[in-house]
């Protein structure tokens, strides 16, 4: 059976887990590290839908699981400001977060990221965008962006995987962890679905959004302290590039926050993809949610820009299952669309009527998600979220006119599954000794760059403990 004892066991091979392993092995080359990932190695992550235009129901999904997590097939935007992408400044302090973001960014550059950064050399243009945002009661969150691109991001993570393997890190793919063994409030081992048991000194839960629900059950079963997190739920908006041209050229991704006049709910823009395409992500049990991609190569560029509008909802007692809430809304959309994504024009959305194939076909705007089903989002979303979305789009129209056009497309549902908010200290220790929680799956971060920085930070916390190498 070989050695089943390790210094550090990392559950999940997304950005936070990757950068944790990278920093550990960089500083201590003889450390014995195991990474366990329920998906495939990156070279085996192939989605049949790209050829068949039909989801084949792969388990696990190649888009959301595997080495690099959902980040491998995302647009690959690195947000270089501590003000965007997570809660690291609250845990580590602002200056420490700035330092870690710079360090993680340097790793991406080392492995081939584009050196161009958007949003740092257009002072006059950004000032004009900020002026328009203020007039519309929107807050512009200024954030330099490094764009990897979907296809280039895949190559960068492939190089990182090869590097970690060359350094002797053990990776077990297609392996689902079913439990974490805890004795006397101390993490001792993980158990996999094939009956294997792996002992460790330190454990890192780095499961990402796809694994947030799994980790929430682990926390519940073992009494790991958590708080009820925020639910981010909404739509993906698609418009012609011309509508977003000024924002795209000067910021690449305009991060705008709004508090709606009717309900005072927070709505934000997220994950803008200039000349990109709308895509479907499949989670456990075939749950389909919408997302977006953008490529670096001109060969794959479209004429449309897409971005998410997310309504942030915080709940109070006795409610304590925000992930299930988001899933229920997404499942309702799936049920109405036979497991596919719903699309509706903004004109129909405002008029409270279902979009039909006939009206969609006469639209000037051609959907990039070809198998999206025309429908009525009012049959899916609560009234409050419908009002929030409409009010946000009207506000955005004052910054970049044309977004509130009748032919603007709204795809639903977009949900971010990072609402299992695990209570951690400055070293990301949970209430269980030896178990640390990082990344999006623990609701510590909400994006690639802070997740990567989080991995480096937790590695350094672990390195504060003395380890020996495995000699069993």
Task: Indicate whether 140 and 152 sit together in one domain.
Answer: no
Q: What is the pLDDT of residue 126?
A: 95
Task: Indicate whether 300 and 432 sit together in one domain.
Answer: no
Task: Indicate whether 276 and 401 sit together in one domain.
Answer: yes
CA distance 32 to 471: 10
Q: Is residue 193 a part of any domain in this protein?
A: yes
pLDDT tens-digit profile, the chain (472 residues): 446 899 999 999 999 999 999 999 999 999 999 999 999 999 988 877 666 666 666 777 777 789 998 876 777 889 999 999 999 999 999 999 999 999 999 999 999 999 999 988 889 999 999 999 999 999 999 899 999 988 899 999 999 999 999 999 999 999 999 999 999 999 999 999 999 999 999 999 999 888 888 999 999 999 999 987 778 999 999 999 999 999 999 999 999 999 999 999 999 999 999 999 999 988 877 899 999 999 888 898 999 999 999 999 887 778 878 888 999 999 999 999 999 999 999 999 999 999 999 999 999 899 999 999 999 999 999 999 999 999 999 999 999 999 999 999 999 999 987 667 899 999 999 999 999 999 998 989 988 999 999 999 999 999 987 554 443 3
* Contact criterion met (CB below 8 Å) for 373 and 337: yes
Q: Is residue 62 a part of any domain in this protein?
A: yes
Q: What is the pLDDT of residue 37?
A: 97
Cα angle vertex 246, ends 78, 154, to 5°?
A: 30
Q: What is the pLDDT of residue 468?
A: 46
Peptide bond into 318 cis (omega under 30): yes
Q: What is the pLDDT of residue 472?
A: 38
Q: What is the pLDDT of residue 418?
A: 66
Paired with 186 in beta bridges are 183, 433
Q: What is the pLDDT of residue 52?
A: 67
Q: Is residue 470 a part of any domain in this protein?
A: no
Task: Indicate whether 256 and 188 sit together in one domain.
Answer: no
> How many domains, in total, are found in the chain?
2
Q: Is residue 157 a part of any domain in this protein?
A: yes
* Contact criterion met (CB below 8 Å) for 70 and 209: yes
Give me the half-sphere count of Cα atoms (radius 13 Å) on the Cβ side of residue 384. Answer: 10
Domain interval for residue 47: 5-113+148-225+421-462
CA distance 91 to 426: 6
CA distance 455 to 236: 29
Task: Indicate whether 216 and 250 sit together in one domain.
Answer: no
Q: What is the pLDDT of residue 55?
A: 66
Task: Indicate whether 40 and 90 sit together in one domain.
Answer: yes
Cα angle vertex 305, ends 304, 307, to 5°?
A: 145
Q: Is residue 395 a part of any domain in this protein?
A: yes
CA distance 165 to 171: 8
CA distance 368 to 280: 11
* Contact criterion met (CB below 8 Å) for 239 and 402: yes
Task: Indicate whether 203 and 343 sit together in one domain.
Answer: no
Task: Indicate whether 178 and 70 sit together in one domain.
Answer: yes
Task: Indicate whether 100 and 181 sit together in one domain.
Answer: yes
Q: Is residue 472 a part of any domain in this protein?
A: no
Q: Is residue 262 a part of any domain in this protein?
A: yes
Q: What is the pLDDT of residue 76?
A: 86
Expressed in percent and rounded to 5, the helix, strand and coil fractions of the chain are 35, 25, 40
Q: What is the pLDDT of residue 276?
A: 95
């Amino acid at each position: 059976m070989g050695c089943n004892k390790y210094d550090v066991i990392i559950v999940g091979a997304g950005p936070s887990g990757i950068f944790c392993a990278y920093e550990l092995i960089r500083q201590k080359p003889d450390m014995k590290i195991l990474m366990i990932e329920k998906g495939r190695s990156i070279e085996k992550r192939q989605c049949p839908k790209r050829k068949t235009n039909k989801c084949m129901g792969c388990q696990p999904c190649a888009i959301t699981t595997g080495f690099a997590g959902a980040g491998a097939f995302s647009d690959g935007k690195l947000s270089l400001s501590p003000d965007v992408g997570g809660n690291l400044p609250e845990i580590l302090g602002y200056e420490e977060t700035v330092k870690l973001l710079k360090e993680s960014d340097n790793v991406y550059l080392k492995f081939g990221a584009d050196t161009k950064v958007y949003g740092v050399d257009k002072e006059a243009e950004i000032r004009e965008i900020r002026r328009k945002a203020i007039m519309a009661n929107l807050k512009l969150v200024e954030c330099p962006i490094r764009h990897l691109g979907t296809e280039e991001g895949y190559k960068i993570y492939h190089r990182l995987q090869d590097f970690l393997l060359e350094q002797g890190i053990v990776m077990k793919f297609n392996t689902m962890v079913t439990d974490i063994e805890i004795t006397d409030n101390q993490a001792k081992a993980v158990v996999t679905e094939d009956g294997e048991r792996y002992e460790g000194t330190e454990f890192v839960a780095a499961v990402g959004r796809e694994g947030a629900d799994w980790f929430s059950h682990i926390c519940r079963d073992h009494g790991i302290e958590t708080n009820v997190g925020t639910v981010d739920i909404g739509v993906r908006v698609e418009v012609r590039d011309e509508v977003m041209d000024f924002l795209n050229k000067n910021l690449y991704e305009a991060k705008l926050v709004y508090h709606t006049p009717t309900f005072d709910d927070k709505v934000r823009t997220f994950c803008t993809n200039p000349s990109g395409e709308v895509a479907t992500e499949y989670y456990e049990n075939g749950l389909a949610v919408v997302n977006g991609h953008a490529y670096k190569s001109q060969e794959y560029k479209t004429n449309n820009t897409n971005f998410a509008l997310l309504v942030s909802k915080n709940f109070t007692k006795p409610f304590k299952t925000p992930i299930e809430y988001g899933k229920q809304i997404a499942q309702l959309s799936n049920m109405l669309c036979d497991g596919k994504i719903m699309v509706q024009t903004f004109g129909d959305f405002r008029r409270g009527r279902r979009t039909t194939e006939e009206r969609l076909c006469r639209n000037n705007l051609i959907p990039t998600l070809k198998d999206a089903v025309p429908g009525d989002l009012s049959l899916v979303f609560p009234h409050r979220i419908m009002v929030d979305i409409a009010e946000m789009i009207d506000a955005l129209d004052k910054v970049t006119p044309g977004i509130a056009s009748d032919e603007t497309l709204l795809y639903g549902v977009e949900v971010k599954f990072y609402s299992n908010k695990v209570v951690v200290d400055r070293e990301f220790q949970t209430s269980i000794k030896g178990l640390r929680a990082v990344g999006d799956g623990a609701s510590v971060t909400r994006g690639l760059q802070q997740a990567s920085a989080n991995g480096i930070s937790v590695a350094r916390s672990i390195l504060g403990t003395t380890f020996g190498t495995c000699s069993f």
